[in-house]
Structure 1
Amino acid sequence: MSSHAGHVALITGAGRGIGRAIADAHAAAGARVAYVDYEPALAEEAAAAARERGCEAIALSADVADDEAVGLACRRAAEALGTIDILVNNAGISPKSGADGRRAQAWEMSPAEWRRVLDVNLTGAFNCMQAVVPGMREIGRGRIVSLSSVAGKTYCDIVGVHYAASKAALIGFTKHLAGELGPYGITINAVAPGRIDTPLVRGTAPEANEAARLATPLRRLGSPEDVANTCLFLTSDASGFVTGQVCDVAGGWLLT
């Protein structure tokens, strides 16, 4: 029997990259999966590919920063697939600033840019949590995983202060909610990826990626599947006594 058979997973930012790998892993493990993305075409393409592989999947579009849109998406997912008992908060942004593609330094960042990143990366996780927890409480079981980052734990030169602050805040979000949600049979954990082979990383200077590779004990960049497999464990029954934790998926880059 597949490890996630009988469960319903909602994955945000599931149209591409790490989010799609996470959604695909849950679908392959037997879960019924809602692929949620800001871009409808990406969500539908990913969900359609999952259905072609024999998985049960639907596509939904929502801006996670919009609580009403999130609520509607979650209701549609529950109507189509059943009560959501797995949530992975993957949706996030790390915008570039300026015509030269350089990331804004903290003192030159616009207030609007700061707010937008916090709204998507942090408030988006809050909105999704609020939408699914009532159903999880009702059935007495839930798994929530939020994508933080090593940039939320230490300086990382390829992201801005807004991104780092949002990812650090997700760690506090996770630890506090572990205490609130635990009595209802709901676990919540965070995953902190290191340098993962994604379009964001490929867009940085090759020498920076090579330096990161050499600084990583496993001597490679991570893959989206590395992150997906960790999330899959944290949403499984096997992780039932794990909550409030931050799991680095960084090849040993942050050894403490």
Structure 2
Amino acid sequence: MFTSLQGRTAIVTGGSKGIGRGIAETFADAGVNVVVTGRTESDVDACVAALAGKPGAVSGVKADVTSQEDCRRVVATAVERHGALDIVCANAGIFPSGRIEDLTPDDIEEVIGVNFKGTVYIVQAALAALTDSGHGRIIVTSSITGPITGFPGWSHYGASKAAQLGFIRTAAMELAPKNITINAVLPGNIVTEGLIEMGQEYMDGMTAAIPAGRLGSVADIGNAALFFATDEAGFITGQSLVVDGGQVLPESQEAIGEQ
């Protein structure tokens, strides 16, 4: 039995859609008060309305994680609303496609800015509040793409996700004396608005590559993040957890057929 997280406070960046919204819902179901961020007011409002009535209160802030000022404002808002901040889920991310020969400096900067710099900025902004908590938890949403696998068109995305893992390993050492842990969840193919936009053929191909025989759900990622937030996970830091239904395991498509 895990110690209850009821009454604690979490920020979920990029929490208005997709995996972030799934994380927010999982935490709210566990009684955690959640502040979600998103880049558009309408998306934030829609998420807050959809998650109303959970054991944990869900509220939102329009913010851009590429702005250090916005990140500081999000943290201040969470503390103002709930009196403390215990958990930060650095989830905001984008995944535009582009072949290497076509990538512009702006293309690269946009992906690195949101996925990597945005992670660093929200962590920096939250350090004082997480230290005051006495049991601070940081959970980063990375990906199997970059740290483990590759996919044509996503070299800049993969690089940003690998950078997050390089960051958490040193951050874990710096933050340990403050009783703050930092870990990463590496999702495989999860059913979100973004994945659906890739088309049915893409989703069918990805499903065929997963030994579990299904695409992941946002709840699968939310549950992994919730574990890292528990008191019982307090001796785990600087680590990454792959949540992909076994997708990275087969040597070839034929290996799945041999099950």
- 8 Å CA contact 2:7–2:56 kept in 1: the answer is no
SS at match of 2:98: coil
- State the match for 1:72 in structure 2: 73
Work out the CA distance in 2 between the residues paired with 1:75 and 1:155.
37
Deviation at 1:50, TM superposition (A): 2.5
* TM-score (structure 1 length as normaliser): 0.91
- State the match for 1:86 in structure 2: 87
Q: Per-residue CA shift, 1:40-79, capped at 9, x if unaligned?
A: 2211221233333453122101000000111112111110
Instruction: Give the letter aligned to residue 220 of structure 1.
Output: R
Structure 2: which 5+ residue stretches go unaligned? 251-259
Work out the CA distance in 2 between the residues paired with 1:2 and 1:48.
28
- State the match for 1:166 in structure 2: 160
Work out the CA distance in 1 between the residues paired with 2:123 and 2:140.
10
- Aligned match for 1:137, one of 127, 131, 139: 131
1:104 and 2:98 equivalent? yes
Work out the CA distance in 2 between the residues paired with 1:191 and 1:53.
24
Q: Per-residue CA shift, 1:188-208, capped at 9, x if unaligned?
A: 000100111122222225343
Work out the CA distance in 2 between the residues paired with 1:51 and 1:188.
28
- State the match for 2:43 in structure 1: 42
- State the match for 2:31 in structure 1: 30
Instruction: Give the letter aligned to residue 134 of structure 1.
Output: A
Structure 1: which 5+ residue stretches go unaligned? 96-102
Kindly report the root-mean-square deviation, in angstroms, between the aligned alpha carbons of the 2 structures: 1.8
| Pair 1:227–1:159, CA change in 2 (3 A) | farther
Work out the CA distance in 1 between the residues paired with 2:187 and 2:137.
19
Q: Per-residue CA shift, 1:156-208, capped at 9, x if unaligned?
A: 32652111110000011111111111121111000100111122222225343
| Pair 1:180–1:16, CA change in 2 (3 A) | same
- 8 Å CA contact 2:134–2:180 kept in 1: the answer is yes
Work out the CA distance in 2 between the residues paired with 1:204 and 1:48.
27
* Pairing 1:78-227 to 2, within 5 Å after superposition: 78-95=79-96, 103-157=97-151, 159-227=153-221
Deviation at 1:125, TM superposition (A): 0.6
